[in-house]
Amino acid sequence: MIKVLLIEDDLMVQEVNKEFINRVDGFEVIGIAGNGIEGMEQIRRMSPDLVIIDLYMPMMDGLETLHLLRKESHPVDVIVITAASDLHTVRQVIQQGAFDYIMKPFKFARIKQALENYRAFQNRLRDDGKISQSELDELLFQKEQDEDLKSLPKGLNTVTLQKIISYLNQIDTSVSAEEVAEGVGAARVTVRRYLDYLEKSGKVQIDIQYGGIGRPMNRYRLS
């Protein structure tokens, strides 16, 4: 099991994040802290494998905690979950070596993706022997691509597919093909081809909306 420490000051968010993390196979929340000071105390005592941390917290915020974490050279990885979306903050977090950066609000699918990427990354690093450049590139830069995204049907490309998946991941309700097309800046007919592929792959579900005059409308959401 990968031992996770959750550092988050909002009690409701604590419970939601804890439930999400424990739902992913191979991960267990071993402690929860309400600020960076409590978090550092638990890191020193529990030696978690992974810390999932918010940035906006009282007493000691997330960035201060990351600085101290690295200063004390704790062998722990970090995933940041925060409402901060400014590039300056993102840059600071990346400079501190965070494995992933998730913006609030988010869906279970996003944190599940981050944790599964992290698990695959750690499993590969535990292997003995050497690694090729292409394998390293895949670990570092293409963690989000699973096998079925690497063998797309002719005429589809990974970049557009990832844009559509990312857009759907940010939407709490089902959306039409027209809304997806507008959201990702692509033609409606093009987007429908990708949505059809995602639906056949089991990654997207279709909600049929009735009402008004004309044919029922298909609306899409991630499975």
Reading the block at residue 199, the tokens are: 């639906």
Confidence (pTM): 0.63
Residue 113 and residue 16 in one domain = yes
Residue 100 CB contacts under 8 Å (≥ 6 apart), including other chains: 79, 80, 114, 117, 118
Number of structural domains found in the chain = 2
CB neighbours of residue 139 within 10 Å? 15
Q: How many CA atoms lie within 13 A of 48 on its CB side?
A: 25
In a domain, 202, yes or no: yes
The pLDDT tens digits of the residues spanning 82-100 come to 988 888 888 889 888 899 9
Does residue 106 sit in the same domain as residue 176? no
Residue 121 shares a structural domain with residue 90: yes
What is the residue range of 193's domain? 147-222
- Over the stretch 30-79, which tens digit does the pLDDT of each residue have? 999 999 999 999 999 999 999 999 999 999 999 999 999 999 999 999 99
Among 73, 94, 125, identify where a domain stops: 125
